[in-house]
Amino acid sequence: QVQLVESGGGLVQAGGSLRLSCAASGRTFGTYAMGWFRQAPGKEREFVAVISWSGGSTYYADSVKGRFTISRDNAKNTVYLQMNSLKPEDTAVYYCNADKSYSRLRVGMYDYWGQGTQVTVSS
């Protein structure tokens, strides 16, 4: 069982930056691939980024490539999402997700998720 708690959301102006954090419980964090998804009002949840258990592989949605960076610190059981050059269309609730399979996360499948953190980007 993995429990995930996101933090770091907030209100930021367009062009600004935020760093989201996701703290995971359990001693097996280092064996899970981790991902970030987001859901805007009235829209379906969409994939944002994924990182392998070692941190050696990452993959991003085209909409955030070059602006967002996913990273992890297995010693701290934490995964991060650095978001730069934010746009109003990035406004959403951001969810942290975990799965044993990096490939499953890439296609939007996962076993564990957090409660989400709100990111609002004003124009």
Instruction: Give the confidence band of 90 by pLDDT, cuts at 50, 70, 90.
Output: very high
The beta strands (E) that lie in 14-116 are given as 18-24, 33-39, 46-51, 58-60, 68-73, 78-83, 92-99, 112-113
CB 61 within 8 Å of CB 89: no
The whole-number average pLDDT for the span 94-100 is 95
Q: What is the mean pLDDT of the chain?
A: 95
Q: Is the pLDDT score of 27 beyond 80? A: no
- Digit-coded pLDDT (tens) for 72-85: 999 999 999 999 99
Place of tokens 């907030």: 10
Residue 26 has pLDDT above 90, yes or no: no
Answer whether residue 1 shows pLDDT above 90.
no
> pLDDT (tens digit, 9 = 90+) per residue, 45-66?
999 999 999 999 999 999 999 9
pLDDT at position 12, please? 98
Gap between the Cα atoms of 114 and 101, Å rounded: 17
